[in-house]
Amino acid sequence: MARRTRKDALKRKTGGREYRSVCWVSAEGQTEKDYLRMDAFKDAPMAVKFPKDIHPDRRNPAAVLKRFQKAMRTEDFRKNDEAWVVVDVDTWGEEEFAELLAWADSDPRHHLAISNPKFELFLLMHFDRGNGCTTPQKVDEVLKRYWQRYDKRVSVTRFSLDEIKAAVENAAKKRASCKDIIPGPGMTDAHLLAARLIEGR
């Protein structure tokens, strides 16, 4: 058998797996990361990755963006990749989101998934429309009616593809009644990211 040379070892392999575009996600909490790592998203048209070294402490939306931009400088963001900032309204006013909105407008690969009041509203929408859930306390109260042991963590098998599709539909129908860029109380744009990940399925 001929000895393999260093030159051979450095040759690019052909016929391998094609590069899959990536959704780079800035997620505020572990709940969002758990959700996006579920088995139901494993066959997504895009892979989900989280930039390294994003400090988890809650900051205002502008600080969340700056942290994300700094972290992304060390990542391989390619032309077919997308960048998503997943953030909650909480108590922030519309003016606090000005930089995030400008960032989203600056590049068609930039996207926002804002929840009002928080991401757990989208979890609730896997069960029902979440009507009247306009405060964090109300979201938690109703979510625990369906999911009594919810503890901020989401297992990899928690929701099926059909349940995700139902949540996307619930969120989209509610969001359709609000034309504002930032979702109104009891609404979320988290369904946009979920829909992207189940596209064509």
**Cα dihedral: 56, 62, 63, 67 (round 10):** 80
The whole-model pTM stands at: 0.88
Per-residue pLDDT tens digits for 183-194: 999 999 999 999
Q: Tell me the CA distances in angstroms from 24 to 13, 80, 126, one per residue in order.
A: 26, 11, 24
Residue 112: CB atoms within 10 A of its CB come to 22
Per-residue pLDDT tens digits for 114-143: 999 999 999 999 999 999 999 999 999 999
Residue ranges covered by each domain of the chain: 19-197
Note whether 108 and 79 are within 8 A (CB).
no
Task: Measure the CA–CA gap between 147 and 23, rounded to whole angstroms.
Answer: 28
Q: Return the SS3 of 39.
A: helix
